[in-house]
Amino acid sequence: MKTSAILFAIFLSCILCGHPADKKNVSYWKTIKIPAEAKGNVSVSLDFFLPAECSGYLLLNRNGKPVKISLQHREGGHVNVFFNIGGSEELSLAFLKEEVASDELQSNASGLLHAVKKASEHLTNVDSVDTFKKLWDKSVFQGALFEEKVFSGYNPFGTSNDTLHSYDGDIRIGKAGSYRFYTASTDASFILIDGKTVVSWPGLHDQSKGTNNEIFGDVVLKEGLHKFRYLHANSGGALYAVAAILPPGEKKNEVIQKAAFTEVYKASVGQLEYRDGNATSEFSWSNRQMINFDKDCMHEVEFTAAVPADLKAQKITWDFGDGTSGEGAKVSHIYFKRCSYPVTMTAELADGRRRKEKQDVQVDFRFGQNEHDDNVTNEIMRKAVQQESAVGIQPEGYDAVMAAMLFYRQKKEAELFYQNSSLMKKSAAKENLFEFLDRLAVPQMMDSENYTGAIAAWEAFVVKAQEPLKSKALLNKAELLVGPLAELQQGLAILNEIKNESLSDREKRSYIVMQSDAVLRKDGFNAAYKMLNDIRTAISAPKNAREQLECENSINAKLFLAEQYIASGKNTEALEIIDSLEWEKPSIRLYAPLVMLKGKALSKLGRNVMAGTVLEGGLLLDRDDDTDAKIRMELAGTYVARKEYLKAKQQISTIRKKNPDSIEQLESSKLLELINVKIDEGAK
């Protein structure tokens, strides 16, 4: 009741005095509380959120008269201002339907105010304080904020090129004497004390001389407060601005600390009330974090509802303005497109009534915000995936999630996102989706031997793809059919659908390799060898016997290294070496010892379907008895892992017939016991 009476008196005084508030139509009020310690002539900052139906605001004292207020920055409905007062006052903030012209940026009574303007011309040679001031007067205001010190590496309100920066405040001098001030900056900077230039570093330059303490100036100061001003004209994209001080008697300078400047205070705001004094609901929001991947982005915005206790809210729901919704008094939401969103909060009250509040939420690039913390980035990615599953995401969100997973090479996460999301329904068959499937989701499926899932992924892509991506996807599908699944006829039919002109040189080579794999099984070793041997490689053929010997030694060394990797459990590394050998010399794919090592590494990685296909191909190659026994023994183990016991027993029988004195024949005895037990139990 007391608050309502005060507000009514303020409003009445506005009408009686003919204040603009009565003409602009006050919709809401907020009481403003100034900290008790804010005494004397000081600056006070204030943050508030403007209801969507309001365009203006006025700060009024107890007599209904306006208090001069300076806009520092505004993002949609989030407004940041400051004002100067002569001590603790009773103030109210009036929200108006029509906009009121903002006051010019005023001088701050306390604190260190950093104001930024964008120059209307390219800054080439700011040679003096006077030149700076002239440029300042005709430049466009970008924003202002209170800083703790002059120590900056970016423009908080936009890009850094061609920007003018002014840091203004009162500096405390503890004892009289000669003080030395330093500057380090990219391009021109000046330090003024009590209006007089103490340090001048004009022109275009980097910060190196400043960081080496070469740019300074001396001034004799009395004890007490002195006007401090730091001016910085930054021309290029990089920005660096630091001010330091060396007090009398000290040997080492330091960046001027927060305690050296007078305090700025932060006002608190009361609850939102109608003009008649009745409380209503509202909400606040903050841009918590941003991550950026070229043209794709994710912005986490946190929303907090504020509903007076006497309204007894039973449920809080949100319309985030992007086609999605949420529930809860405090919620986090991920946006994937930079623009303004009309966000609506609905409070369902105990008596059945509903209170709706709207705001314009501006989602934009956050200059200076840390976007490179991997832990934070991965947490936002996780939230984005959860949001897609729970309420959905914007179309741009699929591109952003794919870009993030590609950047961090998250194969497992990519497969889960592919399986559980609406990715394949809602994403166009563009380059990024192809890359996502080709580098992450499908390789993960192949690692887990989900080949039918991998084929389904490419089939879904092909349906909506255009050239050249269509042929590239068909090539990958054919590789699955010819390779691990050994469906030769289907694979060759898919290869025939591919348009050669859509493939890169590397893909054209893969095309021939797949054909050779099919030809090996259909027409034999010689036909396959001819195809592979005709592939042109970047490596020139040996010119003489010496080069031939060096080439063979290199191949043998890599084969030996792959064998050692397999023995030590580094099977993935072994496969990488084998892949490099096959790329350097395609015909080596028909070298039985290499095929045996490849099958063994795949088997140890649990990829038994692929291992079986590779080893079965090895039995079609020229090989000695020792290699034959090794391949068959490895194949028998692979069949056992696939629970194909009769096939395994057949390989062991062949070893005993063809290589009765081999080590593999001795090793097979224990495996044969297991096979016979399984067969007796009814296994095939």
Q: SS3 sequence, 110-172? A: CCEEEEEEECCCCCCCCCCHHHHHHHHHCCEEEEEEEECCCEECCCCCCCCCCEEEEEEEEEE
Collapsing DSSP to helix, strand or coil, 232 comes out as: strand
List, edge to edge, every strand of the sheet that includes 163-173: 140-147, 112-118, 163-173, 224-234, 189-193, 196-201
91 with 189, same domain: the answer is no
Residue 23: pLDDT band with limits 50, 70, 90: very low
Neighbours of 133 (CB within 10 A): 12
Q: Is residue 540 part of a domain?
A: no
Do 66 and 178 sit in the same domain of this protein?
A: no
Sole residue written with tokens 């809210």: 313
User: 183 Cβ partners below 8 Å, 6+ apart?
Assistant: 189, 190, 191, 199, 201, 210, 215, 216, 230, 241, 242, 243, 244
pLDDT at 16 > cutoff 80: no
Give the model confidence (pLDDT) of 399-444 as tens digits.
999 999 999 999 999 999 999 999 999 999 999 999 999 999 999 9
For residue 101, tell me if it sits in a domain.
no
Q: Is the pLDDT of residue 340 over 90?
A: yes
Q: Please check the confidence at residue 561 and state whether its pLDDT lies above 80.
A: yes
Q: How far apart, in whole angstroms, are the C-alpha atoms of residue 243 and residue 223?
A: 20
pLDDT at 553 over 90: no
The domain that contains 64 carries what CATH number? 2.60.40
Matching residue, tokens 């009741």: 1
**Is the predicted pLDDT of residue 491 greater than 60, yes or no?**
yes
Q: What is the pLDDT of residue 679?
A: 85
Q: Is residue 8 part of a domain?
A: yes
Q: Give me the amino acid identity at 302.
A: E
Q: Domain with 433 in it: what CATH number?
A: 1.25.40
φ and ψ at residue 276, rounded to 5 degrees = -85, 0
- Chain segment 190-226, per-residue pLDDT in tens: 999 999 999 999 999 999 999 999 999 999 999 999 9
pLDDT for residue 7 is more than 60: no
Residue 103 lies inside a defined structural domain of this protein: no
Confidence of residue 684 (pLDDT cuts 50, 70, 90): low
Query: Beta strand 91-96 with 56-60: parallel, antiparallel or unpaired?
Result: antiparallel
- The domain that holds 581 is classified in CATH as 1.25.40.10
3-class DSSP assignment, residue 421:
coil
pLDDT at 12: 40
Inform me whether the pLDDT recorded for 552 exceeds 50.
yes
Range of the domain at 226: 112-262
Does the residue 320 lie in any domain? Answer: yes
Q: Please check whether residues 398 and 423 belong to one and the same domain.
A: no
Amino acid, single-letter form, for residue 492: L
CATH number of the domain within which 243 lies: 2.60.120.1560
Residue 88 has pLDDT above 70, yes or no: no
What does the pLDDT read at residue 278? 86
Does residue 484 form part of some domain?
yes
102, pLDDT greater than 80: no
- The burial class, CB within 10 Å (0-12 / 13-18 / 19+), for 234 is buried
Share of the chain above pLDDT 70, in %: 94
Q: What is the CATH number of the domain that holds 393?
A: 2.60.40.10
How far is residue 124's CA from residue 147's CA, in Å, rounded to a whole number?
27
Place of tokens 């900077």: 189
Res. 2 pLDDT band, cuts 50 70 90: very low
Residue 453 scores a pLDDT above 70: yes
Say what the pLDDT of residue 542 is: 63
Give the model's confidence band at 539: pLDDT under 50 very low, under 70 low, under 90 confident, else very high.
Answer: low
Same domain (yes/no): 218, 78: no
pLDDT of residue 601: 96
Strand partners, 277: none
Instruction: Count the domains in the chain.
Output: 5
Paired residues of 216 in beta bridges: 182
Out of 36, 63, 96, pick the residue that ends a domain. Answer: 96
Gap between the Cα atoms of 112 and 485, Å rounded:
70
pLDDT at 546 over 90: no
Residue 103: strand pairing partners: 70
| Mean pLDDT in residue range 45-59 | 92
- Shared domain for 672 and 550, answered yes or no, is yes
What element of type H or E holds 330?
strand 330-335
- Band of pLDDT at residue 373, cut at 50, 70 and 90: confident
Residue 547, pLDDT score: 67
- What is the rounded distance in angstroms from the CA atom of residue 210 to the CA atom of residue 188? 11
Per-residue pLDDT tens digits for 590-619: 999 999 999 999 999 999 999 999 999 999
Structure tokens at 446: 């192949």
Q: Is the dihedral of CA 529, 533, 534, 538 positive or negative?
A: positive
pLDDT tens, 164-180? Answer: 999 999 999 999 999 99
Phi (first) and psi of residue 495, to 5 degrees: -60, -35
Q: What is the pLDDT of residue 18?
A: 37
**pLDDT over 50 at 261, yes or no:** yes
Q: What is the pLDDT of residue 45?
A: 96
Contact predicate 162/204, CB 8 Å = no
**The pLDDT value given to residue 139:** 96
Same domain for 133 and 50, yes or no, is no
Provide the percentage of residues in the chain whose pLDDT is more than 90.
77
Tell whether 166 and 195 lie within a shared domain. yes
Q: Please tell me whether residues 6 and 85 are part of one structural domain.
A: yes
Q: The whole model's pTM is what? A: 0.83
Residue range 331-350: mean pLDDT, rounded: 95
378/434 same-domain check:
no
Q: Are residues 434 and 342 in the same domain?
A: no
Q: Given this model, what pLDDT does residue 3 score? A: 42
Tokens at residue 456, please?
A: 């389904």
Of the three residues 350, 373, 408, the one that is the final residue of a domain is: 408
Q: Is the pLDDT of residue 581 over 50?
A: yes
Residue 17 is predicted with a pLDDT of 39
Place of tokens 């042109």: 536
Q: Which of 408, 425, 446 is the last residue of a domain?
A: 408
Shared domain for 399 and 415, answered yes or no, is: no
Say if 447 falls within a structural domain.
yes
Mean pLDDT (the chain, rounded):
91
Residue 4: predicted pLDDT: 41
On the question of pLDDT at 545 being above 90, the answer is no
In a domain, 267, yes or no: no
pLDDT mean over 477-493? 93
pLDDT at residue 5 greater than cutoff 60: no
On whether both 334 and 367 belong to a single domain, the answer is yes
CA–chain centroid gap for 418, Å, is 19
Provide the pLDDT confidence category of residue 492 given band limits of 50, 70 and 90: very high
